[in-house]
A and B are shown apart, each in its own frame.
Chain A
Amino acid sequence: TQLLEQSPQFLSIQEGENLTVYCNSSSVFSSLQWYRQEPGEGPVLLVTVVTGGEVKKLKRLTFQFGDARKDSSLHITAAQPGDTGLYLCAAEGAGNRDDKIIFGKGTRLHILP
């Protein structure tokens, strides 16, 4: 069974600090997505990474796919209260039938003003 482990589960930091959250597995994935879910809303896609070692930037957010395509990280620079939310990673297994994906349980991030 493929599993995605996200860490930490919860993170509360002051505005302006930097942080990194992780998405890890023992399985190899074809692609990996990061979603952000704000309170009272559905998840919204932030980025998709598909190549081992790939780095993508979205303003203050930096996403990296591990070289072996088994893990990913999300780094936020100078966190702002608007970054508060639940960050979910979702991955498509290599050789997976029907391109099924699995979701991690998420990291709940709270940025204190």
Chain B
Amino acid sequence: EAQVTQNPRYLITVTGKKLTVTCSQNMNHEYMSWYRQDPGLGLRQIYYSMNVEVTDKGDVPEGYKVSRKEKRNFPLILESPSPNQTSLYFCASSFRLESEEQYFGPGTRLTVT
């Protein structure tokens, strides 16, 4: 089954404790992206990657890192999480371009206390 998987689905952590949210897709897509979704603010892009070893900042990259060492994986790293990073996070992928159909993962709900 074609899908985007994220882990964990739910995470409660404390300020400053490094964490990684994994994202994997099995569709051989070139384009991958991370979004956060907050009430009243909608979906905002954090980082995106157009291919292996190519990453770029989205609209809200501060406090986040990503890597794209393999085509299928695009982990999101929070080196020192803060409470304002409490949010619902989505990973997405598309064949080549962001403007094509994006397939979204099920989401990771992160709470930073």
A residues whose Cβ falls under 8 Å from a Cβ of B: 30-31, 33, 40-45, 48, 88, 92, 98-101, 103-106
Closest residue of chain B to A91 (Cβ to Cβ) is B99
Interface size grouping (class) on chain B:
10 to 19
- In the complex the two chains form, is B107's CB within 8 Å of A98's CB? no
Secondary structure at the B interface, as helix, strand, loop or mixed, is loop
**Is there an interface contact between B99 and A103, defined as CB atoms closer than 8 Å?**
no
CB distance from A61 to the nearest CB of B (A): 17
Docked complex Cα distance between A101 and B97 (Å): 10
CB B80 to nearest CB in A, in angstroms, measures 27
A40-B107 contact given A45-B102, A48-B101, A99-B99, CB 8 Å threshold: yes
Please report the number of residue pairs spanning A and B whose Cβ atoms sit closer than 8 angstroms.
Answer: 44
- Whether the Cβ atoms of B42 and A103 lie closer than 8 Å is yes
Which B residues are in CB contact (< 8 Å) with A30?
A: 99
**5 interchain residue pairs of minimum CB distance:** A42-B104, A105-B42, A99-B99, A92-B99, A103-B43
A61 and B43 CA atoms in complex are apart in Å by: 23
- Structural contact, B107 and A41, CB atoms closer than 8 A: yes
Residue in A41, A42, A101, A106 whose CB lies within 8 Å of B99: A101
Q: Please tell me which one of the listed residues B40, B43, B44 contacts residue A88 in the complex, with CB atoms under 8 A apart.
A: B43
